[in-house]
Amino acid sequence: MRPCAFAVKNNNVNDFIKYQAQTSPYPLGMEVSHAIGSYIFDTNNKKYLDFVAGVSACTLGHQPPRVNQAIKDQLDKYSHVMVYGEYSQSPAVEYCKLMASLLPEPLKKTYLVNSGTEAIEGALKLARRTTGRSQLISCHNAYHGNTMGSMSVMGFEERKRIFRPLIPDVDFITFNNEADLEKITTKTAGILLETIQGGAGFIEPENNFLKKVRERCTEVGAMMILDEIQPGFGRTGKLFGFQNYDVVPDIVVMGKGMGGGMPVGAFTASPEMMDLLTHDPKLGHITTFGGHPVIAAACLATLKEITETNLMEETLEKEKLFKSLLVHPLIKEIRGRGLMLAAMTESAEITNEVILKCQEKGLILFWLLFEANAIRITPPLTISEDEIREGCAIILEVMDEIVCCL
């Protein structure tokens, strides 16, 4: 359980608790003044080095110039004009066209929505529509969102038990357990996996697990859906995490880092599959604000910046730097790839203390959803080597203080 992390210091924070619905009893409660680059500033003008990037969402840091300019330029042209899929709006069209050029066959048609969770919902519907089957399979300790459909494929019963009944005909396997692949049968519409398990502790696929899932899906005619909401957009050294593992899914789901800090999601599949959502029945998936021109402009600028620079390649060098610096008796291992890293301690108590004391010293770290011993390290891809050294020095300083008190 996350400990209480703040004391009410002024009326604004008081109002934050009083009027804005919360997700836990213990929000961090920092009152933000502004943010730029790799830093967030509070209303006392104290700066915090950001090793979390809005939980993997701020791919290019805060106020990235190319994204900010794209937003401003689009606002001067038009904002929302019609529900999704009726009018041709150049930011969305250009984005989908560029995405098609960057993804392998047959992933060539993209449906733009408002969040990663909504994209999961659309992908699950598309799997059922394509196959005519109902069974969905997910993984234990998987997280794909918190709406009713995505919660149904969450592999953590404690977080969803009170909301049952959820959607039926959902089964679970263990990530990296090849024997469980026999559960994928001719009754299965689709299997949904995080390319790298996020909430479970940044667990990578092993022994060609994803390729074996792909082979089994092809054998029985089930859809392979990969959730790239966290690993996507350069965070693992490739545009999408699955490109590290020599596999191509039937449906890829994206979000978080896609919009450079703006709220967005999407799912991509073959044109033949995606067109099934247009008939029998028509309007198989609809959204008012999906493909919003201002958001799409931000996405297009983000995608161009990632693919036209060396950020993806540099991500792997920055991973090496993190792993070389974060050597300490309290760190048992560092999981993950690229800038999707988790420093593992031996207890939740140590993890909590590190995260909270680092915040006091001006470094933002965070938790993972289900793995209590993990310290999330997911900074912007634009973070500099000097900033990495600065933040790691704070972590080591805090850990030394903890060791002295043990």
Query: What are the tens digits of pLDDT across the range 49-102?
Result: 999 999 999 999 999 999 999 999 999 999 999 999 999 999 999 999 999 999
The pLDDT, as a whole number, for residue 406 is 76
Nearby residues of 94 by Cβ (< 8 Å), 6 or more positions away: 296, 300
Class of domain 65-308: alpha beta
186-240 pLDDT, tens per residue?
A: 999 999 999 999 999 999 999 999 999 999 999 999 999 999 999 999 999 999 9
Q: What is the pTM of this model?
A: 0.96
**Do the domains 11-51+310-405 and 65-308 sit in the same CATH topology, yes or no?**
no
Q: Note the residue count of the chain.
A: 406
Q: Check if the beta carbon of residue 195 is closer than 8 Å to that of residue 210.
A: yes
Quickly state the pLDDT bin for 3 (edges 50, 70, 90): low
Sign of the C-alpha dihedral, residues 115, 120, 123, 124? negative
The pLDDT, as a whole number, for residue 13 is 84
Domain 11-51+310-405 fold is: Aspartate Aminotransferase, domain 1 (3.90.1150)
So where are the chain's domains?
A: 11-51+310-405, 65-308
**Omega within 30 of 0 (cis) for the link into 281:** yes
How, if at all, do strands 170-173 and 135-139 pair?
Answer: parallel
Torsion of CA 175, 180, 183, 189, to 10 degrees: 20
| 1, pLDDT greater than 90 | no
Q: What is the mean pLDDT of the chain?
A: 96
Give the CA count within 13 Å in the CB-facing half-sphere of 102. Answer: 22
Q: Which two tokens stand for residue 225?
A: 């859906």
